[in-house]
Structure 1
């Protein structure tokens, strides 16, 4: 069975864009039975931009709860923290020594920060190396990615080939992208793509009060209540994600006929979101009361992941000529 691996940074609260943009597909892949799935929380990666330790701990806990609540099953998938498998960092050092500096300077994230006049740290510059380590240490076959993330996977393949060539081995697999080209583009409250960086998110696990405030803040035009409105507006585009095609068309007809305000539509959207995530929200509340279970899930996941990673790093040490081999003694 092919092995699939996905990671997510604990850099903030997950939102509808995260869910429909990736998480929903991850759960579908898990339940398809096609892959051996590994999901990790990329807490080492988060350190490139997140400097508040309390926020990092809280964000990490929330993402674990979110993943389990939406349907990630520890019996079907392996869930673990990146920081519980230090071999990721060990392998990244080996890869650093076959990586041209120019390749890192061409990375999208690094170039974007430079273009914005920011001063990125070394961690951001070498982010693709650690990402490559995350993938290669598990002999990963496929990596689910959006089209905008394809460059980082191409870098991973480049580094795998450079290592193999330098040491004249066929040690690293060349992982293939599983392009998630059927992803929904989720509009934020301002109509742009939903993103934490834009401050336009709707969080599916927020309290009902906060969720209502976020939904009601969706930007609309000033067309009077009684007049017809553009049926393809921010509210209807979000509503479409949660209901049947029939229900979606009903809302569009209401907008076209007039006498139907954006406030009415937002209330319907709020109800649709709450209904869609009803079971997941209840599961999350129960999971939050059971931290021992969460710890056990992560412990088992880390043990399984580290067993694989230890074997790989032990082989890598032999290949590069290091004498240390403590795991086999």
Structure 2
């Protein structure tokens, strides 16, 4: 039986009723697809509301099973966010595993959701359809994700318009818990809503497909020098001769230029395409310059932060302390409602 929808619990939400939560997976270097798909909006949003941003190292274990890599990727994501402008004075930035209560809540949620719901998971079905055998972590991924959201009393989760379905398990579990354990009392968990991010771009990779680590077609945010040039020059184009006019709207290079350039610059470059005598090599040089200009200051900040690893760890440690302060009263109420006894 589907539980009825509920309203937010006031002590599980911020004073203004909005608690923004979002996870960042440390499964490799962050790239332009990550930046324009989420990070840019995260940086803008974290100053507007009570917010918790966490590096989901447990989630990453579904694909990253090398200890040294996972440690390094986790630290690198923290470096990247701080370099790109995340202010730890404005919102909490921390590592998922530093809040063990989340995994405790995950077990509670396992007992509220049928396996049939998890069999519908997008990532799980993709693996099955590809003839692969997904691990149990991937199968149960949505339940851990739900605990990540609900443990902090999350009311809003930043997502693109095409990602709303990723929230459905969290919404369903909030309803089920409240219906089962709070039928005559104030609901414990808010039913989270998607915070639809504006201008979320589908970023083409160097091969024309969506930029993704799994396709090995990425351009790293902090690539520079020869590494950056090599990535940009690898972008696939057609064989139209240099002297011939070209359609900018059917060009992977121009699609990336549009993400960086202002309207006037876009129009100028598009006109060069249409006039002819402007080759894809010229366009790639334009893109290279735009990327370097956009991230020049962030690259400099990252190099300085890398020299201060203790500061970065302190940011994560303090973020986790803030997160646990939020989680503890919610978990105490959860244990009381479910009958989970703690003798110490």
TM > 0.5 fold call:
yes
CA distance in 2, matches of 1:294, 1:324: 34
Contact kept, 8 Å, 1:314 with 1:325, in 2: the verdict is no
SS for the counterpart of 1:126 is helix
Partner of 1:18: 34
Is 1:283 matched with 2:328? no
Q: 1:128 aligns with which of 130, 142, 149?
A: 142
- Gaps (5+ residues) in structure 2? 1-15
How far the C-alpha of 1:47 sits from its partner, in A, is 1.0
How far the C-alpha of 1:102 sits from its partner, in A, is 0.7
Partner of 1:52: 66
Over the residues paired in the alignment, what is the CA RMSD in angstroms? 1.2
How far the C-alpha of 1:236 sits from its partner, in A, is 1.2
CA distance in 1, matches of 2:40, 2:341: 45
Q: Given the two structures, how large is their TM-score scaled by the length of structure 2?
A: 0.92
Larger mean CA deviation between 295-304 and 163-172 belongs to: 163-172
Where do 4+ consecutive residues of structure 1 move more than 4 Å?
A: none
Superposed CA offset, 1:197-244 (max 9, x none): 121111120132111100000111111111211222111111111111
How far the C-alpha of 1:304 sits from its partner, in A, is 0.5
SS for the counterpart of 1:317 is helix
Contact kept, 8 Å, 2:247 with 2:273, in 1: the verdict is yes
Partner of 2:258: 240
Instruction: Tell me the matched-pair count.
Output: 324
Partner of 2:84: 70
Q: 1:259 to 1:224 in 2, by over 3 A?
A: same
How far the C-alpha of 1:147 sits from its partner, in A, is 3.0
Q: 1:194 aligns with which of 192, 211, 215?
A: 211
Partner of 1:322: 340
- Gaps (5+ residues) in structure 1? none
Q: 1:5 aligns with which of 16, 21, 37?
A: 21
Partner of 1:175: 192
Partner of 1:213: 230
Contact kept, 8 Å, 1:204 with 1:211, in 2: the verdict is no
Larger mean CA deviation between 129-138 and 177-186 belongs to: 177-186
How far the C-alpha of 1:182 sits from its partner, in A, is 2.4
Contact kept, 8 Å, 2:161 with 2:197, in 1: the verdict is yes
Larger mean CA deviation between 149-158 and 271-280 belongs to: 149-158
Contact kept, 8 Å, 1:69 with 1:284, in 2: the verdict is yes
Contact kept, 8 Å, 2:94 with 2:317, in 1: the verdict is yes
Partner of 2:239: 222
How far the C-alpha of 1:325 sits from its partner, in A, is 5.7
Q: 1:104 to 1:7 in 2, by over 3 A?
A: same
SS for the counterpart of 2:92 is strand
Q: Given the two structures, how large is their TM-score scaled by the length of structure 1?
A: 0.96
How far the C-alpha of 1:29 sits from its partner, in A, is 1.2
Is 1:147 matched with 2:161? yes
CA distance in 2, matches of 1:181, 1:222: 35
CA distance in 2, matches of 1:240, 1:195: 19
Q: 1:162 aligns with which of 147, 151, 176?
A: 176
How far the C-alpha of 1:258 sits from its partner, in A, is 1.1
Partner of 2:269: 251
Q: 2:93 aligns with which of 42, 62, 79?
A: 79
Superposed CA offset, 1:77-130 (max 9, x none): 110000000001000011111111111111111111111111111111111111
